[in-house]
Amino acid sequence: MKKGYLFILAIVIFLLTLSGCAAKEQQAAPEKNVELTISAAASLQDALTEITTNFTKKHSNVKINYNFGASGALQQQISQGAPVDLFFSAAEDKFAQLVSEDLIDKKNGVDLIGNELVLVVPKDSTKGIKKIEDLPKADKFSIGTPESVPAGNYAKEVLGNLKIWSPVEGKIVYAKDVRQVLTYVETGNVDAGMVYKTDALTSSKVKIAATVAEKTHTPIVYPVGVIKASSHPREAMVFYEYLQTEEALKIFEKYGFKGL
């Protein structure tokens, strides 16, 4: 009887040991390497580059590839089936469109940060453009294409509300995104441009002539969310949650974005 009891006890101990070893091996097994594709507004490029560097130090198995561009163009790509894991928009309406198409679950999206619109001119400008109302002095003036570039849409809204759209409409050079507007101003191809404050702060070749009054345009809000069809929903959610951490938000603020 005693021998039988000891035999059974030995088997139980053996099985528990075997189970423990298996669990340890499972824990020790390296995480699967994955690549995430994130479509993000061009104005986020510098901040996200630094944030990603910090994130991948903690999650070395995740490689993040960015597709930067105008929010409207990115939204259309996703609507048409482009393989994307997260969408980080510079406008709420572009994001809302994907929610309405059931491509983003509203519970997996958040309004994360804000921005400001500014008027920039070349650093050595002599045109005397010091405020929005001075824009008629410009020979050429650049904004993003309003239909696809949120910053361009905000700019058009401002010019309309200040009753100076008609005097400058014929002088406008449209750009594919805010970074192109910035380049036009840096190279002197235009006398002024309207970009986000965060873009203006990246350049030593332009100066901010004026900050646009917030009451003259719709609030600038950047929503981010996980695409339902993500190939790596777990890792996408991990990065989505990291973007909301104090560490990430401090980097956004460092680049001129505002917390909401």
User: Residue ranges of the domains in the chain?
Assistant: 34-114+221-259, 117-216
Q: In what order do the strands lie in the sheet with 62-69?
A: 62-69, 34-41, 86-88, 221-227, 104-114, 258-259
Query: CATH number for the 117-216 domain, one of 3.40.190.10, 3.30.930.10, 3.10.20.740, 1.10.10.10?
Result: 3.40.190.10
- Spatial CA neighbour of 221 closest among 103, 88, 107, 69: 88
Q: What integer pLDDT is reported at residue 32 of this predicted model? A: 85
Encode the chain (260 residues) as per-residue pLDDT tens digits: 455 554 455 554 555 555 554 444 444 444 689 999 999 999 999 999 999 999 999 999 999 999 999 999 999 999 999 999 999 999 999 999 999 999 999 999 999 999 999 999 999 999 999 999 999 999 999 999 999 999 999 999 999 999 999 999 999 999 999 999 999 999 999 999 999 999 999 999 999 999 999 999 999 999 999 999 999 999 999 999 999 999 999 999 999 999 88
Q: What is the CA radius of gyration of the chain?
A: 25
Q: What integer pLDDT is reported at residue 260 of this predicted model? A: 83
Domains 34-114+221-259 and 117-216 share a fold: yes
| Strand 62-69 relative to strand 172-175, pairing | unpaired
List, in order, residues 6 or more apart from 24 with CB less than 8 Å away. none
Q: What integer pLDDT is reported at residue 259 of this predicted model? A: 87
pTM above 0.75, yes or no: yes
| Strand 34-41 relative to strand 62-69, pairing | parallel
Classify domain 34-114+221-259 at the CATH topology level.
D-Maltodextrin-Binding Protein; domain 2 (3.40.190)
- Structure tokens, 32: 């699967």
Tokens 């949650």 locate to 241
CB-CB contact of 108 with 226 (8 Å): yes
**CA 187 to CA 189: how far, in whole Å?**
6
